[in-house]
Amino acid sequence: MQHQKTGRMISQKIGQHFDLKTDALPKGRIFYILKAGDTPLYAGYTAQLGTKLNGFKQRAEEDPLLRELCERADTLDYQEFDHGIHALAAFKAYCQENNPEYQHRVHPWAAYVYLGLDSHRFPFISIKESSNDDWQYLGPFRSRFMLVDIIDSLSRILKLPYCETGTYPCDKFDRDVCRGWCLALAPAEETKLEHDLNKLDALLKEAFIHPNNGIYEMVYGERENYFNNLEFAKADLLDDELELLKSYRDWLNFLYVAKSLSFQDDHYEIEAGQLKSAMVKGKTYHFPIDNPQYRENETLALPLAAVDEMKTIYDYIREQSHA
């Protein structure tokens, strides 16, 4: 393991109404603590401290618990590290030692969502807040908006169902942007069109579950054709879609391996993609692992509360393997 570079702990006063100059905060891997005087209220780790605290402030407008936290916090302590896993270890060790008052009440993953797929149930593709039902689940995803965009993109490219109303068929079938898969759900059509739903099942898996499905390459080829034909405006329009498709592919690759990640060196022990023990300031800390009994339809679904930690560890192991 490379030598760990750690910044000093910096303390900053928070003004009334959670007033902070977030633009001036560092954008590296940060372990942070919100305090009321010397009393720790909440701790976390992030690569975007300013964005994280702004998010707290915005959510506090509708969340009474966050509003209470923001009203009480008068001090921000933060420390910068050269990798997220070091910030993660410092955070977990601090929480074990200090048990901040709001730590188990404020959930940073509260807005995370899963993608649900079911080729034989309307609306076929759905955004879910948990993985408790019997859809085929992927995720969670940190941004609902990103997931909406990827569903829209893949559905448009492959004419997959993206049903935005509670009834079917909708106008997308009339506009020829969907093949009308929902028609197979009509009782009189079930037998005749059963093969269509089986085809839909294969298409949904190919589009949403297989990282290397060729869709990114297809769109990239289209973008290059526009560029080579000097249609730069059309080429530029595809740049955002390519970035979206790449982000989704990268996240899928993470979901495939996250549960099986294991690693051990002089400082860290990782099991089931999570930090099992860590050496922090010369002391060894041991942490519980969230490793539930996953159902068959949760092969690519991770626990909401563990996904951020698992992504940090995934990034760390990837970097170590290429060091």
Instruction: Determine the CATH number of domain 10-98.
Output: 3.40.1440.10
pLDDT score of 20 = 78
pLDDT score of 1 = 47
Cα distance between residue 204 and residue 317, in whole Å: 30
Order the strands of the 113-117 sheet from edge to edge.
125-128, 113-117, 136-141, 300-301
Query: pLDDT tens, 14-73?
Result: 887 788 787 888 888 999 999 999 999 999 999 989 989 998 888 989 999 999 999 999
Structure tokens at 39: 């009393």
**295: number of CA atoms within 13 Å, CB side?**
9
Cα distance between residue 300 and residue 297, in whole Å: 8
Cα distance between residue 146 and residue 154, in whole Å: 12
Query: pLDDT tens, 182-204?
Result: 666 665 555 455 557 888 888 89
Show me where the domains of the chain are located: 10-98
Instruction: Kindly tell me if the per-residue pLDDT of 3 is higher than 50.
Output: no
Phi, psi dihedral angles at 181 (to 5 degrees): -60, -30
What average pLDDT does the structure give for the chain? 88
Phi, psi dihedral angles at 279 (to 5 degrees): -95, 115
Structure tokens at 118: 């079911």
Q: For residue 149, give Cα distances in angstroms to 182, 250, 258.
A: 21, 16, 24
pLDDT above 90 as % of the chain: 57
Close Cβ partners of 27 (under 8 Å, ≥ 6 residues apart): 47, 48, 49, 50
pLDDT score of 256 = 96
Cα distance between residue 210 and residue 207, in whole Å: 6
Query: pLDDT tens, 141-182?
Result: 999 999 999 999 998 888 887 776 666 666 666 566 666 666
pLDDT score of 231 = 84
Query: Binning pLDDT at 50, 70 and 90, where does residue 257 land?
Result: very high
Structure tokens at 229: 């034909």
- For residue 120, which of 211, 193, 172 has the smallest C-alpha distance? 193
Q: Is 132 exposed, middle or buried (0-12, 13-18, 19+ CB in 10 A)?
A: exposed
Cα distance between residue 275 and residue 313, in whole Å: 8
What amino acid is encoded at 181 in this protein?
A: W
pLDDT score of 226 = 86
Question: H helices of 209-277, where?
Answer: 215-228, 232-257
Close Cβ partners of 55 (under 8 Å, ≥ 6 residues apart): none
Query: pLDDT tens, 274-290?
Result: 999 999 999 999 999 98
pLDDT above 70 as % of the chain: 87
Close Cβ partners of 196 (under 8 Å, ≥ 6 residues apart): 181, 184
What integer is the mean pLDDT of 123-129?
Answer: 91
Q: Any idea which residue has 């009480």 for tokens?
A: 72
pTM over 0.85: yes
pLDDT score of 23 = 81
Query: Binning pLDDT at 50, 70 and 90, where does residue 214 land?
Result: confident
Q: Any idea which residue has 């679904």 for tokens?
A: 301
Pairing of strands 75-81, 268-271: unpaired
pLDDT score of 46 = 94
Instruction: Kindly tell me if the per-residue pLDDT of 213 is higher than 90.
Output: no
pLDDT score of 168 = 63
Cα distance between residue 134 and residue 292, in whole Å: 16
Instruction: Kindly tell me if the per-residue pLDDT of 260 is higher than 80.
Output: yes
pLDDT score of 98 = 97
